[in-house]
Structure formats: C-alpha cells, structure tokens
C-alpha cells in the first residue's frame, strides 16, 4: 500500500544525457503505475547564459532561501563543510548539485567601445527535471552496485571477481555492511530473487533494514519485483547526479553522445601532442577515452584490449610497446588546454556562418553534444580556431588593441558630407550583434584602406538577414553618409543604405 507522503525532486540534466534520462524516467513511470505509486515528472528544456556576477547573485539569493530550512535542524546554515544531520546534509547536497551541474565557461568579445579583453560568462544547455513520487512502504534499500573486475559482464559459466560501487546516498552510514565480508570473493550472474543466471553487466546489492538480510538481484528484479523504496530507485537511475559505475576499460562500446567540452578536451590534448590537426580522426577520438598509465597518457579505444590486441600480446596489453601499436599518445591535462577549449567553443559560438561547414560547426556548439556522425566536424573546430588565431582574428575579436590616438587622428576630417554617396575599400575591424524588438541588428565598423580617407573609421548599422563579413575581411563598400561623429578621440562616419561585396 502506498503511503500518503510525497517526495519532490528538482535537478538539472545536461543535454547530452537528456535522451537517455527521459527513457529511464518513462520506465520508472510505467513501473510506478503497475505498482500503484503516484509518480509524475516534467522536463523543461533550458539554455541559460549568464555572467559570473549574475550567476553568483542568483546562487547567493537561493542560498539565503534555504537557510531557514537548515535552521530547523539546529545546524549552522553557513557551515557547508561540517557534518550535519542527514536531512540538512541532503538539503545542502541538493543545493550544491543545483548550482554546479552542467555549467561551462565561455567568453564573448569586448563590449562596444571596450578594450579590456573578453567578458567571461557561463552557460548550460539541458533540461530541469521536476518530479513528484509517492513512497512505497518497504523494508529494503539499495546499498551497492557490483560490476565484474575482469570482463564486461557477469556470466553463468564461471565466477568472476567484482568491483564494489557504494551508492553515495548511504556512503559512510553507521550500519553499512562491508560488502566483501558478506559476499563471496568471486560470483557469477545469479539473481537471488528470480533464481536465474544470464549475462549481466551488473548486480545490485539490497539490504533489509529490519533483518539485515543481504541479497544480490538483477536490475529487472529490482525494478519490477523487489519492493524497493522508489527514492532509492530514482537515485540509482539518475546518472545525472551519480557517476557512471565501473572502469571505462571494461566497456565494449562507447556512449552514443558525448559532451562537447569533454570531446574537445580529448581532441585538443591529442592534437597538441602531435602539434598538428589530423584530418579524419574525429570518429576515432569519439570512440576512445583517455587514461593515465605509469605517468603517460593514452587515448584508448573502447573495447581495448580484447577487440584489438592479438592473443599473444594480450598479457602485455598495457605495456608501452603494445600501447604504441594500438593506441595513441596524448598530452596530460592542463589549465592551458582547458583555456584553449573554452576559447575554441566561444569563437564558434560568436561566428557568423559564411558556409555550410561553418553552419554545421555552430549547430554542434549550440547543441552542446557530439555524436559519431558529427565527431569529424567537432574535431575540425581545432583547426578552424588555429587558423583564425594565425590570422589575428581571435586577437581582434576577443582581445582588441586600443587604437593609438596620434596628432593626425585628432585633427582628422570626416569623410565627405552628409548625403554623399561613397565607394571605398575597407577592412572589418569590429562587429557586434544585438537583439532588438525587430530582431537582430548588426553593427559593422570598417577601417578604410587606401585613398584619400585611408585609416578612417566608418560605421554601418544593418538589420539585413544576409550574410555579413567576418572581422578581418577586406570588402568593397558603397553607402550614403548619414552623420559624422567621434569615438575615443577619433572621428567616425556613419553610413546607411550600404552594399558590401567581397574584394
């Protein structure tokens, strides 16, 4: 019989885990319906983009709102590190997860008229999960997940050593049994609930909180038959909050989607080690993970070594001479790599696509995820960024140099007279897009190249949906002088009704 109590959960799910999480939630909903448990959930997609100041202000305001709840337990609301009561610890943990999950740092170019460098921001793309569920009267709780230590699966034919992954929910509990003392050192795939054996990737350890009885069950029995409190079930399935169990070396296949930042971190470390971009390797990077072995870092394909190494070499699979043959060396993690990945993603985010290729790159960055089909495009972000860096575009977009105001600049004249129609060659030196009531408006700042007005600055505001040139491009401009002005001591000319053609 279901109790009258109802629990509520709110958490952020990153976009690359959203599809899988929705499948699991639907499965839980079906299970709850079959067992007469009240259960409902709602996923609201979000794409947040905040400055650090806005983020900190919202976080601090939310912290103030939960202090009264913490004080109910007689604890110091400001003590995040202390050992509080279970209720207050859970509340603090939930609050921390809410404000730490899914945020990535990126930068945007300097605001108009500023030469202090890029502005740091943070963003996240995914969904907010809001869930309510009743609690089933049950004496059982999940305490650990067992995974095979030497293979990808438990089998019925032979026993296997196992790795114990204790659920964070009960870690450090006073009455938590030591799994290795109550379960044999080697086990097979036998489920003590349905009394069957078959190939299983994991076994769940459950404990009766009244009798202390310990049982090993398969995931199907846990979900469909064993009367486990749904709050533990949700914690077990919500891998957006609980890390994936097990060693990636045991996996036969990689994930179907990967976080863009994590993928680019792998790619950047590999390309930096080779000191060059390797064309056509995006899929290989997608199907690999990075592991440290004896102080060196290797990009190892999923399924290694069994799917790759010859049987004669299998005992030496993680020796350098075997790794050199089947895997790829990569550079160690560093803050420089993190900064570079952040700048690469930020550059594409601010890119005004001028081709189908650039359009695809921007779609990948906006989605925040990489699949096997888009891995090649994602990896090429590295070389696109490096070329932009070599051309000085990154410097001009994110780190503009303040113009030196010379005596000539101070006495420079405006171009022509208001109403004149002018034709000139110029380089795009700044570009800024703003959202307005009537849609996007783009400000283009040109620097005249050659002729009577060489070095003069021209401003054009455009609401056209046509493709605009990028910073650094040299173009031919024709427009009508609208007004004359001055900015930072340098005279400027604003034009209207402009047409632009590439030089």
Give the number of other Cβ atoms within 10 Å of residue 135's Cβ. Answer: 16
Residue 238 has what pLDDT? Answer: 45
When pLDDT is averaged across residues 350-356 and rounded to a whole number, the result is 85
Give the confidence band of 433 by pLDDT, cuts at 50, 70, 90.
Answer: low
Whether residue 298 is contained in a domain is answered as: yes
Query: Over 60: is that where the pLDDT of 81 sits?
Result: no
Number of domains in the chain: 4
Query: Among 85-89, 300-304, 489-493, which is the least confidently predicted range?
Result: 85-89
Distances (CA, A) of 403 to 161, 406, 469: 68, 9, 22
Query: Same structural domain for residues 379 and 279?
Result: yes
Residue 54 phi, psi dihedral angles, 5° rounding:
-65, -45
Secondary-structure percent of the chain, ordered helix, strand, coil, rounded to 5: 30, 30, 35
Give the confidence band of 249 by pLDDT, cuts at 50, 70, 90.
Answer: very low
Whether residue 282 is contained in a domain is answered as: yes
Give the confidence band of 328 by pLDDT, cuts at 50, 70, 90.
Answer: very high
- The token pair that represents 109 in the structure block: 């170019």
Whether residue 401 is contained in a domain is answered as: no
Handedness of CA 70, 73, 78, 83 (dihedral sign): negative
CATH of residue 479's domain is: 2.40.50.140
Alpha carbon distance 299, 236 (integer Å): 29
Query: Same structural domain for residues 172 and 59?
Result: no
- DSSP code for 278: -
Give the confidence band of 381 by pLDDT, cuts at 50, 70, 90.
Answer: very high
- pLDDT, tens only, 27-63: 778 777 777 777 888 999 888 888 888 888 888 888 8
Cβ atoms of 472 and 396 within 8 Å: the answer is yes
When pLDDT is averaged across residues 301-327 and rounded to a whole number, the result is 87
pTM above 0.85, yes or no: no
Query: Over 60: is that where the pLDDT of 74 sits?
Result: no
Distances (CA, A) of 446 to 12, 414, 457: 43, 14, 6
Query: Over 70: is that where the pLDDT of 262 sits?
Result: yes
Query: Among 170-184, 436-450, 465-479, which is the least confidently predicted range?
Result: 170-184
∠ CA 372-378-382, nearest 5°, is 145
- pLDDT, tens only, 216-226: 888 777 765 56
Tell me which residue range forms the domain holding 472: 407-502
Query: Over 50: is that where the pLDDT of 307 sits?
Result: yes
When pLDDT is averaged across residues 129-158 and rounded to a whole number, the result is 75
Alpha carbon distance 352, 469 (integer Å): 8
Whether residue 235 is contained in a domain is answered as: no
């Amino acid at each position: 019989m279901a109790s009258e109590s109802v629990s509520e959960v709110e958490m952020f799910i990153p976009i690359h885990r959203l599809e899988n999480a929705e499948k699991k939630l639907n499965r839980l909903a079906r299970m709850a319906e079959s067992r007469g448990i009240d259960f409902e959930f709602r996923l609201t997609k979000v794409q947040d983009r905040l400055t650090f100041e806005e983020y900190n202000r919202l976080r601090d305001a939310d912290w103030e709102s939960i202090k009264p709840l913490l004080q109910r337990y007689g604890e110091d609301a400001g003590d995040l590190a202390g050992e509080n009561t279970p209720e207050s610890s859970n509340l603090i943990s939930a609050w921390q997860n809410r404000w730490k999950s899914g945020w990535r740092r990126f930068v945007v170019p300097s605001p108009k008229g500023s030469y202090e460098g890029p502005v740091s921001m943070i963003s996240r793309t995914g969904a907010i999960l809001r869930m309510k569920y009743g609690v089933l009267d049950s004496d059982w709780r999940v305490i650990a997940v067992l995974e095979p230590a030497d293979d990808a699966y438990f089998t019925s034919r032979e026993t296997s050593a196992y790795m114990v992954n204790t659920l964070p929910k009960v870690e450090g509990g006073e009455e938590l049994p030591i799994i290795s003392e109550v379960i044999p050192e080697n086990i097979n795939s036998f489920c003590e609930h349905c009394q069957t054996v078959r190939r299983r990737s994991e076994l769940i350890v459950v404990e009766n909180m009244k009798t202390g009885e310990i049982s090993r069950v398969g995931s199907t029995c846990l979900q469909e038959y064993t009367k486990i409190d749904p709050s533990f079930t949700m914690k077990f399935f919500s891998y957006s909050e609980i890390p994936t169990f097990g060693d990636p070396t045991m996996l036969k296949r990689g994930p179907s989607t990967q976080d863009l930042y994590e993928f680019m971190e792998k790619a950047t470390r590999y390309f930096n080690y080779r000191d060059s971009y390797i064309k056509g390797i995006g899929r290989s990077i997608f199907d690999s993970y990075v592991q440290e072995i004896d102080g060196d870092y290797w990009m190892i394909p999923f399924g290694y070594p069994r799917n790759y190494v010859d049987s004669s070499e299998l005992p030496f699979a993680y020796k350098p001479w075997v790794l050199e043959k089947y895997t790829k060396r990569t550079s160690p993690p560093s803050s420089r790599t993190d900064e570079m990945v952040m700048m690469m993603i930020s550059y594409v985010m601010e890119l005004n696509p001028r081709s189908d290729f650039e359009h695809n790159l921007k779609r990948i960055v906006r989605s925040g995820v990489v699949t096997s089909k888009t891995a090649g495009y994602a990896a090429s972000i590295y070389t696109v960024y490096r070329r932009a860096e070599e051309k000085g575009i990154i410097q001009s977009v994110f780190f503009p140099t303040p113009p030196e105001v010379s005596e000539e600049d101070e006495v420079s004249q405006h171009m022509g007279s208001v109403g004149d129609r002018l034709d000139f060659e110029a380089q795009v030196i700044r570009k800024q897009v703003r959202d307005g009531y009537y849609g996007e408006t783009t400000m283009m700042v040109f620097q005249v190249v050659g002729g009577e007005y060489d070095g003069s600055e021209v401003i054009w505001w455009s609401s056209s949906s046509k493709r605009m040139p990028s910073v650094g491009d040299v173009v031919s401009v024709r427009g009508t002088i609208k007004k004359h002005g001055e900015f930072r001591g340098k005279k400027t000319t604003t034009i209207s009704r402009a047409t632009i053609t590439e030089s």
